[in-house]
Chain A
């Protein structure tokens, strides 16, 4: 029996924020980049136990599983529970592409009254509640990197990005969180 590999999280040891914004590395989660045509959405939704959103900038959540609309045939499915997304999708019987990106992405939870201001330190989206209500999501930019932003509450966001950008993302979030507190 060989020794088992340990997991090292890209944002382990990071903590930060300001008086108005907390920054917390998200727990590891299973993530799948899901691609499919409109005719297969229903079957995939059934397999996942949630309705894959078909409107831009929207997401769907059921329990610990969320599906974020990223493009007309593209979703980021995040499972913070038992996982098993690849198997579930594989058994859906629907034509699709599912690629495991659990380790490609990592995330920071940005929360507090200054959360939107913090993100707008580097993100050009209009994050007002009117334009970006709870549940809204989008792939966009944060400073010089691409991120996926999901609004989880009025004053809370989940920000997903590729792991090699962790230090940059956290550094800019920290800078922006401090400025949001000014």
Chain B
């Protein structure tokens, strides 16, 4: 179970208090009524589903209630950075952490 540092609460709290909220930095188009079907599909349906360093939204739903952004390595599950909603996409902090291989599938 993850330990997640909420950028509003400032301390690390159990994943139980959080809810994952999809890919980060996908802004709703300001002129949404005017965009093409392709643009709408890109905005609403298509996601990168990155293996490795991913920008995600999380919500501290059972804590301060705030949505925030996180840079998480989806292989190691390490959170590289969490930052407040509204801030621009932050650079991946260095040095790069060591990422072990993804665990193999199947039961032991």
Contacts and interface: CB of A to CB of B under 8 A. Distances in A.
Interface of A: 56-57, 70-72, 74, 124-125, 131, 138-141, 146
13 contacts: A56-B8, A56-B11, A56-B64, A57-B11, A72-B8, A74-B65, A124-B13, A124-B14, A124-B16, A124-B17, A138-B63, A139-B62, A139-B64
B18 to A, nearest CB: 10
B62 A146 contact: yes
A25 B13 CA distance: 28
Contacts of A71: 8, 63-66
Contacts of A140: 13, 17, 62-63
A131 B10 CA distance: 12
B35 interface: no
Contacts of A56: 8-11, 64
Nearest to B3: A124
Contacts of B13: 124-125, 140
Contact of B62 (A57, A74, A131, A141): A141
A138 B14 CA distance: 13
A72 B16 contact: no
A15 to B, nearest CB: 28
